[in-house]
Amino acid sequence: MSLLTTQGLVSHYGDFQALYGLDFAISSKETVAIIGSNGAGKSTFLRSIVGLINNASDQIQFKGEAIGDRPADEIVKLGIAMVPEGRRLFPSLSVEENLILGNYSKRAGDWNLKRIYELFPILGERRNNPGTALSGGQQQMVAIGRALMSNPEVLLCDEISLGLAPTTIKDIYAALPEIQSNGTAVLVVEQDINQALSVADRFYCFQEGRTSLTGKPGEVSRDAIKSAYFGL
């Protein structure tokens, strides 16, 4: 049974329609990638799921419950967390203080500071440093750790490799198996097709707010993916 689904999801910014009837599903322990160029609707899709954009209630369901019109704070308490594009750490707070903020919902689970520091040891070493004084890759680790501190059942990752060195990207994605070890589903939004498909069990390609292709990475040709990505 799917953990999180959307059915005919539409989304607007004022009079501008950004999403056109998207159907989507993700199950426990699954990694699903959403690929697409700038403006395809990827980030809007994530913002809709986490309650930053209001939608019709029944267009988004979590464990069979309609949540499309729930506010963001309720979505976190239900068990859905997002790592936002650009990391968005609080510059006045230390690494540890940024992480602790992720647990404001007090949702029960296995993730705590000790486990975050085991997942990303460099953060333990620099726990008292200002969050924004770290390298870009280390800041991304803080952003992921902060989301995990809410003990999510679904983790949404928005462009987490953007602007990072290949070795750093490899280190961050190497954490996925541990993140998923207790059933967490991971939804990865990426412009980098190769990176997305290398970690995904399934993928969706968005093009101008619509699904242009979906499938399993090893079962769909690169030509088909390229055509769907660029709208050829």
* Digitized pLDDT (tens) for each residue of the chain, 232 residues in all: 799 999 999 999 888 999 999 999 999 999 999 999 888 999 999 999 999 998 999 999 999 999 999 999 999 999 999 998 877 888 889 999 999 999 988 888 899 999 999 999 999 999 999 888 889 999 999 999 999 999 999 999 998 888 888 888 998 999 988 999 888 999 999 878 888 899 999 999 999 999 999 999 999 999 999 999 988 7
- What are 197's two structure tokens? 């498909």
Domain ranges of the chain: 4-230
Nearest to 145 by CA among 186, 190, 95, 182: 95
- Sign (positive/negative) of CA torsion 214, 218, 219, 222? positive
What is residue 145's predicted lDDT score, i.e. its pLDDT? 95
d(CA 37, CA 168): 23
Alpha helical stretches, state H, 11-112 = 42-49, 72-78, 95-101
Q: What local confidence, expressed as pLDDT, does residue 227 receive?
A: 93
Rounded to whole angstroms, the Cα distance separating 79 from 44 reads 19
Q: For position 203, what pLDDT does the model report?
A: 97
* Whether 164 contacts 137, CB under 8 Å: yes
Q: Which residues contact 125 (CB under 8 A, 6 or more apart)?
A: none
Output the CATH code of domain 4-230: 3.40.50.300
Q: Is residue 192 within 8 Å of 34, Cβ to Cβ?
A: no
Burial classification of residue 162, based on how many CB atoms lie within 10 Å of its CB (0-12 exposed, 13-18 middle, 19 or more buried):
middle
pLDDT of residue 46: 96
pLDDT computed for residue 91 by the predictor = 85
**Cα(152)–Cα(10) distance, rounded to whole angstroms?**
25
Answer whether 189's CB lies under 8 Å from 43's CB: yes
Which residues make beta-bridge pairs with 145? none
Instruction: With CA atoms as reference, report the closest residue to 44 among 82, 70, 76, 75.
Output: 82
